[in-house]
Amino acid sequence: MRNHICRKLILALVLVFTGMLFAHAVSTSWFQIKIQDFQYITKDGMKINGTMYIPKDASSTTPAPAVITCSGGNNEYIMHEAVNTELARNGYVVVTFNPYKHGTSDIAATDTMGADSILTYTAELSFVDSSRIGMEGHTLGGSYLCQAAAVHPELVRSLICGDFINLNGSGEIMTGDKDFHCTWIFAKYGEYTINPGKDLESPMLQAIFSLEGPVENGITYKNQQNSYTKTAYLANTTNFGYHFSFEVIERIVDTFGRTMGTPAVRPLPQIWPAAMLGKAISLFGLFYLLFAVLSALLHTSRINSNFPESDASLEKGSFFSVSLLWLSPILGAAAYIPLYVLGKKILEPTMLFPQSDSNGLAIWAAFISCLCLLFIRLLDRRVQPAVALSVLLNERFGGILKAFLQAACVFACCYACNLTVKWLFGTNISLFCTNFSTFNPRKALAACSYFPVFMIYFFCTGMFQIKYLYFKTGHLNPLFNCVFFNTAGFAALLLLNFSSFPLTGNAMFHWGRFAFAPILYMLPVLPVFGIVTHWCYVRTGKIYLSTFVNTFLFTWLFIATNAMYLV
């Protein structure tokens, strides 16, 4: 038994470190690029954190062109990983950073959010050619860079703005001829745009280009008073997909090569998906480590069921199990309706508290918890459950405390593994939109305050699954039931929202990150919660262990997700 557990632990660690070694090798163009974190004190006296990608050939004797990148919304710089990788392997020094209030940077409120200080900092680097500095920002990140370019236009050679026209007054700033090249890249299927695909017809963009009609896609317009140019593109992607679009990344690299007189695009395919594959393998190893550590902590023999069932109750249970299983998408969607209404109709205009994704996650968890409890109470009157509610609730304090400590130990082991990865490779297991190695005291404080809400949610959903979905119904096994229940509601709502794109070119619902980000950030990990619920119950017959493990996982994801900051 002990040898079996050791083999699991070794396999998990091999997957984690092999996957990250491969991802790091790809991201550094096979160790030709140095990736290092930096911290800079701005002119406002505030701290900004970021990361640099430094090509091997860049030095004080052979300075390289530089590109400053900034993610949009309240995302951290980790969202620009794919863009940064491709720019760096094409010869650019890449400086990517978290503006004020983002990630672990200090909280402040200025027009540039510290971007102007990063611009001057980049120009002062000895290995950077200060005459060839470009900037690329997405949505709000683009607006911050526009503001920075207005402060120091003499330092900017080329500016790319992604998926926005006029945020924070930056549209007016960009109107008229500028002493640098300007490029806009819009998402044809933008989730947050009222009229996606119509950006080129915007009056503000026409004013920026000094035109009386729509801006033509991909056509370069020369300024009337100088030799600089303006160009706009409409890319076949979404707002979120901007960072992971082959078309967008190709446009970015090609634009800087054309407007900055920098190295031409190499005849190589984009390699960032290979890095993502390595991180996906590493993330799988991390989750496998979770179960390996749990196996080492649990000495309870495997059980089939703690509660004998009669054929009659099993038959009734099977009927309700299958019914609820396929109705779970409606359950997930229904839980989102009040969240959407609350976020858009109540919180935003009255500003009861900051509208950030932390609130969205907590309110979503609270609503779906109440909904699950309501379903449980209604169904208790209709069918004799396999596990009595009183049995689930009647646990001794010692057992609950033991389960909590076991879950905390699992979390600590996984987090320590992640920090080791960060220390070894200078990067982390950041898959698409999460930064699992980030520790932000502000986020940790928020996570502690929301921990009870998440715990209630996972207790309710776990109890719901075990009571009404935990039946062997032939082709539907308990593991499938648990995974499907955790995932289907979100997946169905996501598909529903995008189902109107083929017909109208618009999303069915135009909501902000308050309600949308939890779907994007949680959906890939939600199946793991179902697996944990099933596995822990099979091993122990208790709901508490899976409740605490899932709460730690959810809280970890909560503090790691890019779309969360405190204002």
Per-residue pLDDT band for 93 (boundaries 50, 70, 90) equals very high
Q: Are residues 216 and 138 in the same domain?
A: yes
Residue 508 pLDDT exceeds 70: no
CATH of the domain at 70: 3.40.50.1820
Domain assignment present for 309? no
Q: Are residues 326 and 235 in the same domain?
A: no
pLDDT in tens, 65-86: 999 999 877 677 778 888 999 9
Residue with tokens 């992640």: 418
Distances (CA, A) of 3 to 6, 10, 58, 191, 295: 5, 10, 49, 50, 12
Tell me, what's the pLDDT at 331? 67
pLDDT in tens, 516-525: 555 566 677 7
* Residue 388 or 251, more confident: 251
Q: Are residues 194 and 49 in the same domain?
A: yes
pLDDT in tens, 174-219: 777 788 889 999 888 766 555 666 788 888 888 888 888 888 888 8
Tell me, what's the pLDDT at 211? 85
Total structural domains within the chain: 3
3-state secondary structure (DSSP) of residue 33: strand
Q: Are residues 99 and 221 in the same domain?
A: yes
Strand pairing category for 93-97 and 158-162? unpaired
* Residue 221 or 366, more confident: 221
Q: Are residues 424 and 544 in the same domain?
A: yes
| CA–CA separation, 76 and 445 (whole Å) | 18
Domain that holds residue 105: 31-269
Strand pairing category for 33-41 and 47-55? antiparallel
Domain assignment present for 441? yes
Alpha-carbon torsion, ordered 163, 169, 174, 176, to 10 deg:
130
Tell me, what's the pLDDT at 159? 93
* Cβ neighbours for 355, distance < 8 A, ≥ 6 positions apart: 343, 347, 348, 512, 514
Edge-to-edge order in the sheet of strand 33-41: 33-41, 47-55, 93-97, 64-70, 128-138, 158-162, 181-187, 229-235, 220-222
| CA–CA separation, 362 and 218 (whole Å) | 43
Per-residue pLDDT band for 99 (boundaries 50, 70, 90) equals confident
DSSP 209-254: TT-SSPPPTT-EEE-SSSS-EEEEEEESS-TGGGGG-HHHHHHHHH
Q: Which two tokens stand for residue 192?
A: 């947050």
Per-residue pLDDT band for 476 (boundaries 50, 70, 90) equals low
| CA–CA separation, 446 and 434 (whole Å) | 17
pLDDT in tens, 311-347: 444 455 566 666 766 776 666 666 656 655 655 555 4
Tell me, what's the pLDDT at 383? 61
Domain assignment present for 300? no
Residue 374 pLDDT exceeds 70: yes
Per-residue pLDDT band for 512 (boundaries 50, 70, 90) equals very low
Tell me, what's the pLDDT at 189? 76
| CA–CA separation, 316 and 425 (whole Å) | 54
Tell me, what's the pLDDT at 384? 59
Q: Are residues 59 and 41 in the same domain?
A: yes
Q: Are residues 280 and 147 in the same domain?
A: no
* Cβ neighbours for 401, distance < 8 A, ≥ 6 positions apart: none
* Residue 105 or 427, more confident: 105
253-279: average pLDDT: 79
531-539: average pLDDT: 85
3-state secondary structure (DSSP) of residue 65: strand
- Any idea what the Cα angle at residue 404 is, between residues 399 and 408, rounded to 5°? 150
Domain assignment present for 448? yes
Q: Are residues 335 and 279 in the same domain?
A: no
Nearest alpha-carbon partner for 126 in 36, 49, 54: 54
Q: Are residues 88 and 213 in the same domain?
A: yes
Q: Are residues 245 and 343 in the same domain?
A: no
Q: 142-156, 244-258, 276-290, 543-557: which has the minimum mean pLDDT?
A: 543-557
Residue 533 identity: T
Q: Are residues 188 and 165 in the same domain?
A: yes
3-state secondary structure (DSSP) of residue 532: helix
Domain assignment present for 302? no
Tell me, what's the pLDDT at 156? 92
Give the domain-ending residue among 235, 260, 295.
295
Judge whether 527 and 486 are in contact, CB under 8 Å: yes
3-state secondary structure (DSSP) of residue 159: strand
pLDDT in tens, 287-312: 899 888 988 888 654 444 444 444 44
Judge whether 23 and 427 are in contact, CB under 8 Å: yes
Q: Are residues 22 and 162 in the same domain?
A: no
Domain assignment present for 223? yes
Domain assignment present for 197? yes
Residue 460 pLDDT exceeds 50: yes
pLDDT in tens, 411-444: 888 888 888 887 787 776 776 666 665 566 666 6
Tell me, what's the pLDDT at 353? 38
Tell me, what's the pLDDT at 54? 93
| CA–CA separation, 523 and 497 (whole Å) | 14
Taking 3-state DSSP, the helix, strand and coil percentages for the chain, each rounded to the nearest 5, stand at 55, 10, 35
| CA–CA separation, 51 and 465 (whole Å) | 43
